[in-house]
Structure 1
Amino acid sequence: MQPAVDWDLAARLAARAVRSGPAASRAERADVVAELRAAAPAAAGHVARITRMLPADPGAPADDVRVVDRASWARANVRALEGLTGRVGVPADRGLRGTAGAGQVAAVLGLLSGSVLGQYDPWGPRGTLLLVAPNVLAVERSLGVDPADFRLWVTLHEQTHAQQFASAPWLVAHLTDRLRVLLAEEATGRRGGSRDPRERSGPGAGGPRSLLDLLDPRQRVVLDEVGAVMALLEGHADVTMDAVGRSVVPSVRRIRRRFEARRSGAPGTGGMRRALRAVLGLDVKLAQYRDGAAFVRAVRRRVGTDGLNAVWGSAGTLPSAAEIADPAAWVRRVHG
């Protein structure tokens, strides 16, 4: 049997696959690193104040905050993927394998490494918050926004994710279980011989248009559950990073307006990036930000911030995909 992914090779290849960052002097690089490091604790305080969320275990170890370059981000994600696949129990007869699998993992991460500004990984022994300095520098330049404001604004988003998992530590196990079910269904379908990707393609597409085209109806139910959680997490973070207001981030409105234009892939989105978004289903992720933010705003209008925070109580209080689209339905179910 061909061996599982060579993760060490994947980490080396991923680091080599990244593109170089923006041209910058040593002083400019040192400045962005220092400001991002300083922004992390400041952002955590703002998030706690705005969300009124409390950690379930105040004595838990502090998150590991790292300001990294693109190659370090890629290597960290290879290790995170290695740990996650082991955690959810990817079947031995499925998935990426050997050196070929390592190359495929590295290629995808290499392409993504130039666009990720920050990331929170809750899967390890302690949460890890990554801030990708060259990408922050590149985007703030392209948007023409105030660097100090933008650096704090980005960090607010990731610290909101840290607060979410600190307040709802059960969420890691819940998502792990959902992913385990999703992958078990995938393995069962392949053994049953009904998972030929060609059967999932659209009319005249000549192949699957995205990873979503490979899913059967049972998997889509589980994926909808996971998608609703992701919409909540991302939408809540987006609302929080703007809620600090101009007293904390003076140019927050300008940043949001220009960032949304960039996020939507308006002018400047190349063919390779459009193709990658289609294959990985990243357009679905963009919709999650918007739908989740609309859900959070609507719930807060009806029951306030503390009423919204009931969502972090248990898996039973998480919104369904239908409730993300109909926040009033979630309010009726949870608050009566």
Structure 2
Amino acid sequence: MVQPVADGVASVMTGMLPAGNEAGSINIPEELLASLPDEVAANLRETLGSADFAAITGPLMAMAKSMGATMFGTQFGQALGQMTTEVLSNSDIGIPLNASGKPGLVVTNVDAFIKGLSIDESDARVYVTLRELAHQRLFAAAPWIQSQLLAAISDYARGVKIDTAAIEQAMTQIDPANPESINEMMTSSLFEPTQTSEQIAALTRIELLLALIEGWVTVVVTDAAGARLPSARALEEVFRRRRAAGGPAEKVFGGLIGLEMRPRRMREASALWQRMAETQGIEARDNLWSHPDLLPRDSDIDDIDAFLATGSEDLMAELNKAIESATEESEES
């Protein structure tokens, strides 16, 4: 289902950075920007406008409302801002950052990144480009990825509540004569709610999908580069260390929803995709991206042998039966 990246390696390597590919800002889709803040804004307005909150804040109510309307937006913006000098491509945080679906590199950041490596710069540029191509091919073949991630983020956002006790404590420390005290409150952790079971489930879904995406890209790119790129394995390790140290994806999702992405999970996802390609073939592996219900679950990554023993054919058969049944019911009605 997903066109193997290896098909395009030869042509890609003859012209790694197309003419006119210049550094520039990445356009964040409005859907991504709007989905999460809107969910949380509703909770902010409800809490900040309540009688209990008014009693807490007293004369500072107006100022608190003004702050509250932008608190989460500021937090979101800071999370995105942290990656502006680090993101290497449109897909570097694990999801597409542009609506066009076209591959794109932030050349200035790529150049700065590879200068710190003890690896051939040309090889590094090739590898970064191949990663971007692999991401974009996957996103094009499985367009449901973005909607699944946004749905999980929205599920998490719906559970975000303001800790009025924390705000009350922060308000008592404000010195009206000292504007710096207001800045300190704005930069402090006012939102540290106890996560609900629904939020924990949403975080688990997000981490799993991001791990499966990164694992697939890692395996496909390294295999595609193969003997053509002597530094492929070394560069694979570079990106693993980058994620472990906190890359753009880790910073964005960590700052946005507190997600702690485990490097081990991504290594395990890579191992699953590699094993599946070796035992069942590339086509069977890539066909799992044809529907979200076919993707490996957390338990599958925990026990790869059991997952491979079950085989993807059973899952495909069940999905086909469900589709046929739904089609028949629709025709009868």
TM-score, reference length from structure 1 = 0.60
> Which residue, 12, 26, 34 being the options, matches 1:86?
34
Q: What is the aligned residue count?
A: 251
Given the superposition, is the C-alpha separation of residues 316 and 107 from structure 1 closer, same or farther in structure 2, using an over 3 Å criterion?
Answer: closer
1:287 CA displacement = 3.6
Offset of 1:109 from its aligned partner?
3.1
Alignment partner, residue 234 of structure 2: 254
C-alpha spacing 1:102/1:149, structure 2 compared with 1 (3 Å): same
Q: Which moved more, 1:146-155 or 1:248-257?
A: 248-257
Q: Deviations over 1:79-131 (max 9, x none)?
A: 43x43143465253246965555544443333322322223254765325441
Establish whether residue 49 from structure 1 lines up as the match of residue 7 from structure 2: yes
Pair 1:305–1:49, CA change in 2 (3 A): same
SS in structure 2 at match of 1:284: coil
Task: Find the counterpart in structure 2 of residue 114 from structure 1.
Answer: 85
Structure 1 counterpart of 2:23: 68
- For the 8 Å contact 1:50–1:240, the answer to whether it is kept is no
1:237 is displaced (CA, Å) by 0.6
Q: 1:283 to 1:329 in 2, by over 3 A?
A: same
Taking every aligned residue pair, what percent have the same amino acid on both sides? 24
User: Partner residue of 1:9?
Assistant: none
Give the distance between the partners of 1:132 and 1:109, measured in 2 at CA. 15
Mapped to 1, the partners of 2:303 and 2:22 lie a distance apart of 38
Instruction: Verify the 8 A CA contact 1:66 1:128 in the aligned structure 2.
Output: no
How far off its partner does 1:279 sit? 5.6
Q: Which has the larger radius of gyration?
A: 2
Shift of 1:275: 9.6
Find the aligned partners of 1:313 and 1:125 in 2 and give their Cα distance: 21
Matched residue SS, 1:174: helix
Instruction: Please identify which structure carries the higher strand content.
Output: 1
Per-residue Cα deviation, 1:302-327 (whole angstroms, up to 9, x for no partner): 21211212211212101212212223
The reply on whether 1:227 has 2:185 as its aligned counterpart is no
**Equivalent residues in 2 for 1:21-170, closer than 5 Å:** 47=5, 49=7, 67-69=22-24, 72-73=25-26, 76=27, 79-80=28-29, 82-87=30-35, 90-94=39-43, 101=72, 103-120=74-91, 121-122=95-96, 125-170=99-144
Q: How far apart, CA to CA, are the structure 1 residues paired with 2:123 and 2:164?
A: 52
Match among 157, 175, 197 for residue 183 of structure 1: 157
Alpha-carbon distance in 1 for matches of 2:293, 2:118: 43
Q: Distance in 2 between matches of 1:275 and 1:164?
A: 23
Aligned partner of 2:195 in structure 1 is 215
Q: After TM superposition, give the deviation of residue 147 of structure 1 in Å.
A: 1.7
Distance 1:212 1:318 in 2: 32
Residues 310, 328 of structure 1: alpha-carbon distance in 2 compared, 3 angstrom cutoff: farther
One-letter identity of the residue aligned with 1:115: E
Give unmatched runs, 5+ long, in structure 1.
1-43, 52-64, 198-207
For the 8 Å contact 1:295–1:327, the answer to whether it is kept is yes
CA contact (8 A) 1:87 1:176 kept: yes
Residue identity opposite 2:129 in structure 1: T
After TM superposition, list the pairs within 5 Å mapping 1:233-252 onto structure 2: 233-252=213-232
The yes-or-no answer on 1:326 pairing with 2:303 is yes
Q: Counterpart amino acid of 1:164?
A: L
Q: 1:226 to 1:161 in 2, by over 3 A?
A: same
Q: Does 1:290 align with 2:267?
A: yes
Distance 1:287 1:101 in 2: 30
- Distance (whole Å) between structure 2 residues aligned to residue 250 and residue 127 of structure 1: 29
| SS of the residue 1:112 aligns to | coil
Instruction: Kindly state the Cα deviation for residue 236 of structure 1 after the two structures are TM-superposed.
Output: 0.4
Residue number in structure 1 paired with 2:313: 335
Structure 1 residues 125, 257: CA separation in 2 closer, same or farther (over 3 Å shift)? Answer: closer
Kindly provide the amino acid, as one letter, of the partner of residue 68 in structure 1: A
Q: Match for 1:90: what amino acid?
A: E
Q: Give unmatched runs, 5+ long, in structure 2.
A: 10-19, 45-66, 168-187, 315-333
- Structure 2 distance, partners of 1:196, 1:179, is 24
Deviation at 1:225, TM superposition (A): 2.0
